[in-house]
């Protein structure tokens, strides 16, 4: 199977998996949001930074090294498996011993017990990390689909049962644990790989040597990607953190479906052609354009139609989260650009530069938070938007040097997509504003504004012969 065919197959099954998982989670989230209170989501949001930090430490960048290593064998996989398992135990123990301090920091006594149960995922995840990595390396996303969908459904149903029974925040804890446990069990069942009782320290040094800088960069990124949860949880009421957490999670739905789908496919694909800069440039450009072509109208119209969307999906009690969501939609558009730029550095083996850039960007984040915090939560959110634009400039400058695709070339290729998306959003906003107040107005605004916006977007793309639109017709539809 050629790399192109393998990539297209991987994209299809990865996309199917993402949509299946996200559709299930959307339905579960809708019901949970109607039953539970914003404060319940706020309590889980307080743990976001610690969960992301722990997962980064467990992985240590070594699974990325396995994907990148073309001749990885049983000793490589087994070594990474046992190291991950040992680190997982240490991370869980660290969280248990720190539970009291964390609950005191947020002034939320309930967090102490929640942490000890919620963080059991640190013991579960390492058991299946290598199995999952082998599937990604082989672009076998069809098998991953068979694993993730049932786990998500069963875990979601358990969460709903607990919520209906009045368990509050523990419904979210139980759902998370059930999903992770089922995932781990099924990866063992479906995978034909089993670890050998061996730890090769030379292989460990090789993978850790590549992954160490990625790990430190991942730790920094994990902390700062979730630092707004930490800051809002510390300095603002837990209900406001609940609004922010829910707005952020809804923003992630289209981002994860469209961007993360291709991100899982692109890293192994980029690794296959890491020595051919011209192929890397062409592949990077076309993938980035495709992702933004589909993501832009979704994020733009979601921001414009956020109020009726929230009222229909989550009920009136979540309306205060609407302005948070609208601002975060801008950040969602930047995510795939960051991801693919940084993937170039990873496949080129420049984990040292990856780490350096993360330190620079996160230092700017600290300065931004310090300046914005006295002016309230919306100042923090707009600062986040500005910092994402700065991060784009930094990431694309350095990755562009490796493949001959500089910042201005990237902007030239993506700005037309944003402009067309902006016009579509204006059309959706105009339809929404033109509809008066009468029964089912929210449904009419959402459906009418969404349909008109989408029609405008694709008509302009077709008329202007937008490059990603033409690519999609030639390559994807033909295939």
Q: State residue 93's pLDDT score.
A: 92
466: confidence class by pLDDT, cuts 50, 70, 90: confident
Which of 131-135, 193-197, 237-241 is predicted least confidently?
Answer: 131-135
Q: State residue 215's pLDDT score.
A: 67
Q: Which residues of 54-74 are buried (b: 16+ CB within 10 A; e: fewer)?
A: bbbbbbbbbbbbbbbbeebee
For the chain, the three-class secondary structure string (H helix, E strand, C coil) is: CCHHHHHHHHHHHHHHHHHHHHHHHHHHHHHHHHHCCHHHHHHHHCCHHHHHHHHHHHHCCHHHHHHHCCCCCHHHHHHHHHHHHHHHHHHHHHHHHHHHHHHHHHCCCCHHHHHHHHCCHHHHHHHCHHHHHHHHHCCCHHHHHHHHHHHHHHHHHHHHHHHHCCCCHHHHHHHHHHHHHHHHHHHHHHCCCCCCCCCCHHHHHHHHHHHHHHHHHHHHHHHHHCHHHHHHHHHCCHHHHHHHHHHHHHHHHHHHHHHHHHHHHHHHHHHHCCCCHHHHHHHHHHHHHHHHHHHHHHHHHHHHCHHHHHHHHCCHHHHHHHHHHHHHHHHHHHHHHHHHHHHHHHHCCCHHHHHHHHHHHHHHHHHHHHHHHHHCHHHHHHHHHHHHHHHHHHHHHHHHHHHCCCHHHHHHHHHHHHHHHHHHHHHHHHHHHHCCCCCCHHHHHHHHHHHHHHHHHHHHHHHCCCHHHHHHHHHHHCC
Among 218-232, 330-344, 366-380, the range with the most confident prediction by mean pLDDT is 366-380
The single residue listed with the structure tokens 């019901």 is 31
Question: For residue 16, how many other CB atoms are within 10 A of its CB?
Answer: 16
pLDDT average, residue stretch 79-85: 81
Nearest-angstrom CA–CA distance, 354 and 425: 35
* 52 vs 11, higher pLDDT: 52
- pLDDT tens for 248-269 read 878 877 776 665 555 555 555 5
Which of 17-21, 177-181, 196-200, 469-473 is predicted least confidently?
Answer: 17-21
- pLDDT tens for 186-216 read 888 877 778 778 777 777 777 666 666 666 7
pLDDT average, residue stretch 405-420: 82
- pLDDT tens for 216-237 read 766 776 677 777 888 888 888 8
Q: State residue 259's pLDDT score.
A: 58
Q: State residue 346's pLDDT score.
A: 64
Q: State residue 208's pLDDT score.
A: 67
Which of 34-38, 191-195, 276-280, 333-337 is predicted least confidently?
Answer: 276-280
Indicate whether 358 pLDDT > 80: no
Nearest-angstrom CA–CA distance, 309 and 403: 41
Task: Please report, to the nearest 10 degrees, the dihedral formed by the alpha carbons of residues 113, 114, 120, 122 taken in order.
Answer: -120
Q: How large a percentage of the chain has pLDDT more than 90?
A: 1
Indicate whether 372 pLDDT > 70: yes
Where do the domains of the chain lie? 1-227, 273-479
Which of 69-78, 304-313, 319-328, 443-452 is predicted least confidently?
Answer: 69-78
The single residue listed with the structure tokens 């694709």 is 458
In the predicted model, what is the mean pLDDT of the chain?
A: 77
Q: Contact, 141 vs 10, CB < 8 A?
A: yes
Indicate whether 348 pLDDT > 70: no
Nearest-angstrom CA–CA distance, 227 and 45: 11
Q: State residue 197's pLDDT score.
A: 84
Q: State residue 369's pLDDT score.
A: 86
Q: How large a percentage of the chain has pLDDT more than 70?
A: 74
Q: State residue 110's pLDDT score.
A: 86
Q: Contact, 330 vs 49, CB < 8 A?
A: no
400: confidence class by pLDDT, cuts 50, 70, 90: low
Q: State residue 27's pLDDT score.
A: 76
The single residue listed with the structure tokens 């959003």 is 425
Q: Maximum CA pair distance of the chain?
A: 71
Q: State residue 11's pLDDT score.
A: 55
Indicate whether 311 pLDDT > 80: yes
CB-count burial class (<10 Å; 0-12, 13-18, 19+) for 436? exposed
Q: State residue 15's pLDDT score.
A: 58
């Amino acid at each position: 199977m050629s790399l192109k065919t393998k990539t297209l197959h991987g994209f299809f099954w990865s996309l199917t998996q993402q949509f299946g998982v996200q559709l299930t989670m959307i339905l579960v989230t809708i019901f949970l949001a109607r039953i539970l209170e914003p404060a319940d989501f706020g309590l889980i949001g307080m743990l976001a930074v610690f969960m992301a930090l722990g997962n980064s430490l467990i992985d240590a960048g070594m699974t990325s090294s396995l994907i990148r290593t073309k001749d990885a064998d049983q000793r490589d996989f087994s070594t990474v498996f046992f190291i991950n398992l040992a680190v997982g135990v240490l991370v869980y123990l660290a969280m248990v011993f720190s539970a009291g301090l964390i609950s005191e920091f947020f002034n939320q006594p309930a967090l102490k017990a929640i942490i000890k149960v919620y963080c059991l995922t640190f013991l579960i995840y390492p058991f299946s990390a290598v199995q999952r990595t082998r599937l990604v390396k082989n672009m076998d996303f069809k098998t991953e689909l068979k694993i993730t969908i049932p786990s998500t459904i069963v875990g979601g149903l358990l969460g709903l049962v607990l919520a209906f029974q009045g368990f509050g925040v523990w419904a979210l804890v139980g759902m998370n644990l059930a999903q992770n446990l089922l995932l781990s069990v099924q990866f063992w069942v479906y995978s034909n790989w089993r670890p050998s009782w061996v730890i090769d320290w030379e292989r460990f040094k090789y993978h850790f040597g590549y992954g160490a800088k990625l790990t430190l960069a991942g730790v920094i990124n994990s902390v700062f990607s979730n630092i707004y949860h930490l800051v809002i949880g510390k300095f603002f009421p837990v209900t406001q953190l609940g609004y922010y957490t829910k707005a952020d999670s809804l923003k992630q739905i289209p981002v994860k479906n469209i961007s993360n789908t291709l991100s899982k496919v692109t890293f192994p694909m980029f690794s296959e052609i890491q020595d051919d800069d011209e192929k890397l440039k062409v592949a990077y450009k076309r993938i980035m354009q495709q992702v933004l072509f589909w993501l832009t109208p979704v994020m733009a119209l979601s921001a414009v139609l956020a109020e009726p969307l929230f009222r229909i999906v989550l009920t009136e009690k979540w309306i205060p989260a609407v302005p948070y969501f609208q601002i975060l939609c801008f950040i969602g558009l930047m995510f795939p650009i960051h991801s693919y730029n940084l993937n170039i550095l990873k496949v080129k083996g420049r984990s040292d530069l990856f780490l350096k850039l993360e330190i620079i960007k996160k230092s700017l984040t600290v300065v931004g938070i310090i300046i914005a915090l006295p002016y309230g939560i919306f100042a923090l959110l707009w600062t986040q938007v500005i910092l994402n634009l700065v991060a784009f400039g930094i990431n694309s400058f350095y990755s562009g040097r490796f493949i001959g695709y500089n910042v201005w070339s990237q902007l030239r290729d993506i700005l037309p997509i944003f402009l067309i998306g902006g016009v579509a959003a204006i059309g959706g906003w105009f339809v929404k504003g033109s509809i008066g107040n009468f029964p089912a107005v929210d449904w009419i605004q959402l459906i009418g504004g969404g349909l008109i916006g989408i029609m405008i977007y694709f008509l302009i793309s077709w008329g202007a012969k937008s490059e990603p639109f033409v690519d999609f017709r030639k390559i994807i539809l033909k295939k």
